[in-house]
Amino acid sequence: MPELPEIQAHAERLTAGWAGTELAGFRPITFTALKTAVPRPDEAVGRALTGVGRRGKVLLLTFDDVSFAVHLMQGGRLKPDEKQSAKPRGGIARWTFGDGRALLLTEAGTERKAGVWVLAGATEGQPPLDGLGPDADVVAGDPAALAEVLAGHSARIHGVLRDQRVIAGVGRRLANEICHRAKLSPFANAAKLKPDEVAALAAAMASCLDESLTYERSRDDMSSSKERPGEVHHREGETCPVCGDTVRAVEYVRYTVNYCATCQTGGKVLADNTTSKFLK
């Protein structure tokens, strides 16, 4: 799933290429594409795109005081629509512009979770942005702010980092990379981290976000998950570039926790006995 750096760089690309262009129309292609009834998307027609922003992992296409919030979820992509065919493959929704160009939201696979919300006025606090924690790049590099956000979340740090209500913008890949860089066990209790551990986490978060954003800004389009920089994510069996140990994995149904035992757990091999007795 694209995370904060991928969405941020994509928002910047879209702003550079499309800001100032007048909206000619919006058409949901699937029944579930449009998640809101009011305001109607047509209220943005005739207005110029102010710019494309981001909150958490959500893109915000703003036309004056009407915004389209676009959640790509796992397999969604928002791209220039060269063909503008009647039934585009994987098509979810299309924005057409006064200059004849169009943007197409597509979703790979069959999950059909990507969607569009039309919002009037200030977007903060409205679905799908309601309940989001601060953006990861706001608390990254700021141990005091991060400590405040993590306080009271007595759960494994890997899961807390991915909880959008706690910190917005971090997903599976960044959670793996941030824990590794901070030399923290992904199973460490977020509420019980010592001050030096929170400081390491804040610094790791900042450098992982910066690296990914720099990489993503160097591209013409959003990277695929395999292309993104990293040291442990989806690298089980490979050599840890920091210490030379082998990168390990704890497998879950929907994601994998990757870590280095030497760097992060004092050599202890993690097994999850809370979800599966077979992983011991």
| Least Å from the CB of residue 228 to Zn ion | 19
Is the bond into 39 cis (omega within 30 degrees of 0)? yes
Q: How many helices (H) and strands (E) does the chain have?
A: 7, 10
Residues that bind Zn ion (CB under 5 A): 240, 242-243, 245, 260, 262-263
* Minimum CB distance to Zn ion smaller for 257 or for 263: 263
Of 154 and 246, the one with the shorter C-beta distance to Zn ion is 246
Q: What is the DSSP letter of 188?
A: S
Nearer to Zn ion, 95 or 187 (CB): 187
**DSSP E strand stretches across 5-139:** 23-28, 51-55, 58-63, 66-71, 76-80, 91-97, 102-107, 115-120
The minimum distance between CB 242 and Zn ion, in angstroms, equals 4
Least distance from Zn ion to the Cβ atom of residue 244, Å? 7
User: Phi, psi at residue 144, to the nearest 5°?
Assistant: -65, -45
What is the nearest approach in angstroms of Zn ion to the Cβ of residue 271? 18
| Nearer residue to Zn ion within complex by CB, 103 or 157 | 157
- 108 vs 243 by CB, closer to Zn ion: 243
Smallest distance from the beta carbon of 126 to Zn ion, in angstroms? 43
State the residue for tokens 């790049």: 137
Q: Is 94 within 8 Å of 105 (Cβ atoms)?
A: yes
Helix (H, G, I), strand (E, B) or coil at 264: helix
